[in-house]
Amino acid sequence: MNKFLLKALVLASVSVATFADAQFRTRNRMDNLEDFDQQKFSWGFFLNGNRLDYRIVLHPRYGMNGNQNLVTSKESYSFGAGLITKFRLNDYLDVRVEPGLQFAQRQLIFNTQSNDIYQNGNPQNPPFVPIALTEKDRVRDIKSTLVDVPVLLELHGERWYNSRPYIAAGVNYIVNLQSNSDSADDNQQQVFRSTTHNFAWSAEMGIQFYFNKFKLTPAIRGTFFMNNEMVADNASTPPYWSAAVSTLQTRAVMFVLKFE
């Protein structure tokens, strides 16, 4: 369903862009919404499809076996929606706040049974009792509900008939409502824990199309977490899971349709 939604959003934007090009390139056509961008404040909403995965930095001892990566991630597709608030600075700069709700499900695979060789410990790491990892132990399906609040500075060009290109960049504050960060259980009990409060940076580009009643903006946005999301397992847990990962950070590429 998520892949279908993403494809539908992409096809919709291509259709709109093709129609818009045919409609807007007529030189005698009147400009739509001529005073819309002169407003100090404006509002709208957006829909988006996402492609998400993790950037993983592995622990050199527990996350690697020679040149083999013991922890891998599987990308996923998801969707989201949110609201738009625009504050006009001047003819070329706007500040946008676009709070949204993003739904995601990703997968991490821990092929870390080979860490049994470290069971006797060393001066830096305590000994542990090995366990036989089952499929349920090796695979973590990670569901996330993200409250994403990006603040973007938008730089746009002059209107060309009824369209206008732009680029934007900014920072995000993101709350993971399904982080399990306060859970006493950890991966040994099949509970994956990550940070609740996160920070990211985003970059975006798109084209704004002006119709008689509204403005439509198809855009591509990349969002990249800056903090480490991994919450360490309990001290008594064998080093099959969080100990194998030094840094875990979400990466997302979004296709966005904005309506204002």
- 126 pLDDT above the threshold of 50: yes
With bands split at pLDDT 50, 70 and 90, how would you rate the model's confidence at 18?
A: low
- Mean pLDDT, residues 60-80: 94
With bands split at pLDDT 50, 70 and 90, how would you rate the model's confidence at 119?
A: very high
User: Measured between alpha carbons, how far is 201 from 152 in angstroms, rounded to an integer?
Assistant: 9
pLDDT-above-70 percentage for the chain: 87
Looking at every residue in the chain, the average pLDDT score rounds to 89
User: Measured between alpha carbons, how far is 14 from 22 in angstroms, rounded to an integer?
Assistant: 12
For 239-254, b/e burial (b = at least 16 CB within 10 A) is: bbbbbbbeebbbbbeb
- 27 pLDDT above the threshold of 80: no
Looking at CATH, the fold of the domain delimited by 39-257 is given as Porin (2.40.160)
